[in-house]
Amino acid sequence: MEEMMRITTWGTRGSMPVSSPARVKHGGNTTCVQIQSGCIPGNMVLVIDSGTGIFPCSAQYIAIKPRLAILQTHWHKDHLDGLTMAPHAHADHARVSVYGPEENGFGPTEAMKWLFQKPIFPREFAQIEHRFTCTTLGNPGNRVIVVHPKAGINLITMAEYLTAGTNKQLHLGDQWHDAAECMIITMYKTAHPDFAISYRVVENPTGKVFVFVTDHEKQAEHSKDLLDHVRDADVLIQDAQYTEEVYATRTAGFGHGTAHYCVEVAIRAKAKKLYLTHHDPMATDEDIDHMVEDAWWFARNIIEPLSLLKIEAASDYMKIEV
Ligand SMILES: [Zn+2]
Ligand SMILES: [Zn+2]
């Protein structure tokens, strides 16, 4: 088994990619987060979302890991913008698996047809479709994604998972595998204008937990389902696009969070490390650094004086040990 789970945040900007001298430290790529673990087949790159951060990620791995698996949180453009130019989308030897939600008849296949379409892109999806596998995730509460080093990625029902028995032998592909060797990914529907999913990733061999909650609006009440979904995360990366002031005056209903809300969720769910993400395109490096300082202040002075929660801003190309 490889080293413990690691996360690389290839893109951490929200809404649209930005490039500017005042946005160098935290970066301007849109959402793409890579998960590395011994539970993932050696020839596979596993990412959440295909924002512009997927371009450097795919370029780094195309020669050594020809399989790209993408778990899409949703289909907003900032979470898809990098896929058209990702080398895995065009290399003859590469295979791409896209998993994501479906709403009103628009799911992974429709998203790919929309994205690779003349005249907004010179190649139609039909020309590359034979190397793609598109899988609709269905009701997030009733599905479990199981990743195994030999059996790859499998989507099973929650009922199948729960009835697998105490020794948890899971039927993946055409063979039985021990759940203790797997990475188990469960899902939560976030509060967002269109159907969006948060992923909780549990690396069974180590017990490490990573939760990615983006495009989730600040809520007045903390739902038990969300707290259970985030519970005991070793690493939580959560959407903190807006300051409290911007949220209160202009952006309520847009489907994004604030640093204060992330701190409340992280502390109540007993997460250990919180990384703020989906940075506002308007926010400079200085603004993001202030937001982190303010989040520390809020955690220690308002929520829990002795809080051990670590808080940082997620930045492009950051590597995080879970
Ligand atoms: Zn977004
Ligand atoms: Zn969105």
The predicted-structure confidence for 182-199, as pLDDT tens digits, reads as follows 999 999 999 999 999 999
CATH code of the domain containing 278: 3.60.15.10
Report d(CA 45, CA 183) in Å as an integer.
14
pLDDT tens digits, 125-160: 999 999 999 999 989 999 999 999 999 999 999 999
Closest ligand to C-alpha of residue 254 is 2
Q: Give domain status of residue 44, yes or no.
A: yes
CA–centroid distance for 91 within its chain? 24
317 phi, psi to nearest 5 deg? 70, 15
Asked if 31 contacts 49 with a C-beta cutoff of 8 angstroms, the reply is yes
**Which residue, among 187, 185, 177, has the nearest Cα to 149 in the 3D structure?**
177
216, 74 in Cβ contact below 8 A?
A: no
pLDDT in tens, 209-242: 999 999 999 999 889 999 999 999 999 999 999 9
* pLDDT at residue number 163: 85
Minimum-distance ligand to the CA of 14? 1
Rounded mean pLDDT of the chain? Answer: 96
Determine the distance separating the centroid of ligand 2 and the alpha carbon of 186, expressed in angstroms.
20
DSSP type of residue 163: T
Instruction: Measure 75 CA to ligand 1 centroid, in angstroms.
Output: 9
Q: How does strand 32-36 pair with strand 6-11?
A: antiparallel
Q: CA 292 to CA 269: how far, in whole Å?
A: 19
How many angstroms does the Cα of residue 80 sit away from the middle of ligand 1?
10
Tokens of 183: 């990475």
DSSP tally for the chain: helices H, then strands E: 7, 17
Residue 83 has pLDDT above 90, yes or no: yes
Q: How far is the CA of 204 from the centre of ligand 1 (A)?
A: 29
Q: Nearest ligand, CA of residue 30?
A: 1
DSSP string, 36-63: E-TTS-TTEEEEE--STTHHHHHHHHTT
What per-residue string of b and e applies to 258-290 under the rule 16 or more CB within 10 Å gives b? bbbbbbbbbbebebebbbbbbbbbebbbeebee
Rg of the chain on CA atoms, in Å: 19
Distance from the alpha carbon of residue 202 to the mean position of ligand 1, in angstroms? 24
Q: Ligand 2 mean position to 144 CA, how many Å?
A: 22
How many angstroms separate the alpha carbon of residue 78 from the centre of ligand 2?
Answer: 7
Residue 166 has pLDDT above 90, yes or no: no
205 CA to centre of ligand 2 in angstroms: 33
Q: Which ligand is nearest to the CA of 78?
A: 1
| Contact yes or no for 242/219 (Cβ under 8 A) | no
Q: What is the mean pLDDT of residues 236-249?
A: 96
Instruction: Give, as one character, the DSSP assignment of residue 258.
Output: B
Q: What is the pLDDT of residue 302?
A: 94
By residue range, what is the domain housing residue 290? 6-321
- Taking the centre of ligand 1 as the mean of its atom positions, its distance from the CA of residue 72, in whole angstroms, is 11
What does the buried/exposed string (b/e) look like for 93-102 if buried means 16 or more CB atoms within 10 Å of the residue's CB?
Answer: ebbbbbbbbb
pTM, whole model, 2 decimals?
A: 0.97
Q: How far is the CA of 301 from the centre of ligand 2 (A)?
A: 31
Which token pair is 295? 């989040």
Please give the distance, rounded to the nearest whole angstrom, from the Cα atom of residue 310 to the centre of ligand 2.
26
Phi, psi of 38 (to 5 degrees): -65, -15
Query: What is residue 3's predicted lDDT score, i.e. its pLDDT?
Result: 62
Which ligand is located closest to the Cα atom of residue 194?
2
Distance from the alpha carbon of residue 248 to the mean position of ligand 1, in angstroms: 19
- Compute the distance from residue 73 Cα to the ligand 2 centre, in Å: 8
Task: Return the pLDDT at 74.
Answer: 98
The CA 112 to ligand 1 mean position distance, Å, reads 18
What number of residues does the chain have? 322
Phi and psi based region of residue 317 (left: phi greater than 0; alpha: psi -120 to 50; beta: remaining): left
Separation of alpha carbons 271 and 39, rounded Å? 22
- Residue 133 domain-assigned (yes or no): yes
Quote the tokens at residue 265: 């969720």
Segments in 67-190 forming alpha helices (H) = 108-115, 158-162
Distance from C-alpha of 259 to C-alpha of 78, rounded to nearest angstrom: 20
Domain assignment present for 1: no
For residue 3, the CA-to-ligand 1 centroid distance in Å is 30
Q: How many domains does the chain have?
A: 1
CA distance linking residue 311 with residue 309, whole number of Å: 6
Query: Ligand 1 center to residue 15 CA distance, Å?
Result: 5
Q: From the CA of 17, which ligand is nearest?
A: 1
Ligand 2 geometric centre to CA of 192 (Å)? 7
Q: How far apart are CA 148 and CA 142, in angstroms?
A: 20
Distance CA 302, CA 227 (A): 19
